[in-house]
Amino acid sequence: MNRYLPPITKNLLIVNVIMFVAAWFLQTKGIYLDVVFASFFPLSPNFHWYQIISHMFMHGGWTHLFFNMFALWMFGSAVEQAFGAKKFLILYFVSGLGAFVLFNLMNFWEYKQTVDYLTSNGTPLYDVVEYAKFNIHREYLGANAWMQTLPSGTDMTAAEGFFNFLTSPMLGASGAICGVLAAFGVLFPDSVIMLIFPPIPLKAKYFIPLYILLELYLSFQQAQGDNVAHLAHVGGAVFGFFLARYWIRNRYRWN
């Protein structure tokens, strides 16, 4: 394997690690950077426009960070060397934005259904929105407190779903890295990827569509306890795939 680490890949690795260490350290002081830099649903009181980019540099734990950075090092180096620094950087952020868009489009559909249902039953959603606001210490009134303010007869399951939309962040570089992985499959379709689970070799041109189908399946399964944004992975992979194909087909037209 080529051990050369190109500049954009290297700097992305460094920034992600720095952000993770800073978030971990500040959390020991009661300060939560994910409140500021993770991405909340765009209609949440906790959402800020810059989170569309900043969420890509936040991670939920050491394992989350490790696997994302391992994939970035493993596939990003090859893709950056093939496309060049400028296009690789564009690919990375376009894939991350694609992940954000697809994930939140699906969320918006579910959000609207919940809002319409609760509104028709007279639930004061404005109060729930007010109670859902975080501060930097991740302090808010919490589920039990705001539930006690709702009128009797409120569908608490639907109300809690609405509250979760407003308070559950999306974070991680996974969407951007899925785009890089898809681009790798376009560039090097016959390269063999050794899977971890199960431990079998698979050519990139087969791995990419199978991976997307698996993520789609998992996203619609919505298994209890699964907090992975599978549709974000799909969005990143799809945007990365089509952008890489476009560049390859037009490689002699512009740089």
Residue pair 44/166 in contact by the 8 Å Cβ criterion: yes
> Across all residues in the chain, what is the average pLDDT?
85
pLDDT at 164: 83
- 38-42, 106-110, 221-225: which has the minimum mean pLDDT? 221-225
Kind plus residue range of the DSSP H or E element containing 229: none
Cα–Cα distance measured from residue 139 to residue 78, given in angstroms and rounded to the nearest whole number: 43
Asked whether the beta carbons of 9 and 80 are under 8 A apart, the reply is yes
Which of the pair, 46 or 215, is modelled with greater confidence?
46
pLDDT at res. 3: 61
pLDDT of residue 53: 96
User: Of residues 236 and 194, which shows the higher confidence score?
Assistant: 236
pLDDT of 146 higher than 80:
no
Pick from 50, 19, 75, 58: nearest CA to 211:
75
Q: What is the mean predicted confidence (pLDDT) over 85-111? A: 93
Distance CA(153)–CA(159), nearest Å, equals 11
Instruction: Kindly report the length of the chain.
Output: 255
Spatial distance between the Cα atoms of 103 and 54, rounded to a whole number of angstroms: 16
Q: Does residue 163 surpass a pLDDT of 90? A: no
Q: How far is CA 47 from CA 34, 37, 40, 41, in A?
A: 11, 9, 5, 6
Q: What pLDDT is stored for residue 252 in this prediction?
A: 46
Domain ranges, ordered by start, for the chain: 7-249
pLDDT on residue 218: 75
Determine if residue 222 is left, alpha or beta; phi over 0 gives left, psi from -120 to 50 gives alpha, anything else beta: left
CATH class of 7-249: mainly alpha
Query: For 22-31, 95-104, 160-169, 184-193, which range has the lowest pLDDT when averaged over its residues?
Result: 160-169
Instruction: Give the pLDDT of residue 254.
Output: 45
Determine the Cα–Cα distance for residues 157 and 119; give it in Å rounded to an integer. 14
Flag whether the pTM goes above 0.85.
yes
Section 219-230 average pLDDT: 65
